[in-house]
A and B are shown apart, each in its own frame.
Chain A
């Protein structure tokens, strides 16, 4: 049965799923980087230095994709600066509409981009590629700085969830937990990448155990949020869980591979680097699957 058949779809496509997923991974990796820098052991630093290289290049790709995905890509500057042709009463050189998550999100991504740049330069410095002064070192490793960066990372990871919630489309508008779910899944993906990196570079057993704990706790948060999301969606969960185009991705990608299998792997057997890394790969599958299924469930709802 179609829901709200009078609506029109924004015709967002696979490119947006890719953008949202890449931004989530970049955000999640910074979250893992920040968490390990703030709470971690000094043995973890080898991993955090490698993680610092990841978010900036991904965010640059995301920015390019975001621009290319616009109907008028060359006008992307209108997101940041008030066009001379725009409404006179807006005033000021900067375009900021606080009622629009898309407008606010643009600035959140920009600010997050700054934090990823600092992390990238810091990783370059630790890799011996460049030299910076002690003051830079102080800022890059300041825990408040990294905490704020972690917050902007999670805001970037959740941004598209809040954005779709502020529409009239079925599924998107029917639960206020999309943003929270997106943030949690982004964190899952990011810590997953950290687990993959830790496995690849032969991290110590302590680091692997800590990554396993982080993945387990985030899995628990994911389960709670997903149950909350489905309960909150109520009857409007149908396109998400039953539609032939979206339902299989949701059940296989998000529920089975993204939550059930990781929970099993994390709770049973020995904690080995490869096992934790496998959960990391599954977390990435979950990130893409969640964004795909939520994004296209609104279109499935229109067509019944």
Chain B
């Protein structure tokens, strides 16, 4: 019997930005603070916002984004809104990082998460460029720690050790508002559909799901207002958002797998190689022919 796919539903509409999830992730996975170089160059902490790290990294597998929106209208100064989003690896159904890994270091667990064999990773960093969400980070600085091997890549692994023991993820366990919910992906989709419907009923029609199209999944959700965005075959960690994806630092449209370019790129290269081969040989063959023609004359 196939194991149920596990994931998380991130409801940004009830996130308070408390960062308990960030702390729980750091604590459970024994992740150190940002490396000294980043601290030295002022890249470790923003200090310009309640958003402290600004991005995911090899030592920050979870990051609460604070999106601060202020009105440009002088008559409405003081009117602002904060959008908060607890971000991490999305454990894509079609994961570009996993597809391009040349060593099998990235793999899918029985629960559907994308995990890393840190003792197999060679540190080529190809997966970093293949991730459409900028999740995977290279650990260039840190010496070996429980979940840190210098010269390899790092990211959220959906607490695979906890999940294998029947526990949920540390971040979801710590979330005080149930903005993060861990469970079977199919159950979470139903929960998300109910939540979107409830928000739309209350007039919050800009609420939608990023990661799955709930209608396509056969679930009931309002057909008016903001519509769901399905990306890379679906996300096992998916989001309820209240503004456009790019506002949250996410691709607006489905980026697809990087392999979408492989066949056309290889094809164009082979055509170019054939043309070059003919041109190269012809340039030298011409001389032989010219010599032959001169001899005949």
Contact = CB atoms under 8 A, between A and B. Distances in A.
Contact of B250 (A6, A32, A100): A6
B133 interface: yes
Nearest to B271: A180
B152 A71 contact: yes
A8 B284 contact: no
A165 B276 contact: no
B250 A183 contact: no
Contacts of A10: 125-126, 128-129, 138
Contact of B120 (A6, A8, A75, A179): A75
Interface stretch (A118-126, A129-137, A146-154, A254-262): A146-154
Interface size class of B (residues with CB under 8 A): 35 or more
B276 to A, nearest CB: 5
A45 to B, nearest CB: 11
Contacts of A117: none
Kindly state the interface size class of chain A when it binds its partner: 35 or more
Contacts of A102: 100, 102, 124, 126
Interface in B88-137: 96, 99-105, 107, 117, 119-126, 128-137
Contacts of B119: 83, 85
B104 A82 contact: yes
A209 B107 CA distance: 55
A41 B284 contact: yes
A120 to B, nearest CB: 20
B1 interface: no
A168 B96 contact: yes
A170 B122 CA distance: 24
B255 interface: yes
B100 A99 contact: yes
Nearest to A78: B103
B150 A71 contact: yes
Interface of A: 4-12, 31-32, 34-36, 38-41, 44, 70-72, 75-76, 78-79, 82-83, 85-87, 90, 95, 97, 99-103, 106, 147, 150-151, 154-155, 158, 161-169, 172-173, 176-184, 187, 191, 206-207, 209-211, 213-214, 217-218, 221, 225, 298
18 contacts: A8-B131, A8-B137, A31-B277, A35-B283, A78-B103, A78-B104, A78-B120, A79-B103, A90-B104, A100-B102, A102-B124, A154-B277, A161-B265, A162-B266, A165-B261, A181-B272, A207-B287, A217-B283
Given A71-B139, A163-B126, 17 more contacts: A6-B251, A8-B55, A8-B131, A35-B283, A75-B123, A83-B119, A87-B117, A147-B277, A168-B132, A172-B129, A176-B261, A176-B265, A179-B269, A184-B272, A210-B283, A213-B286, A217-B280
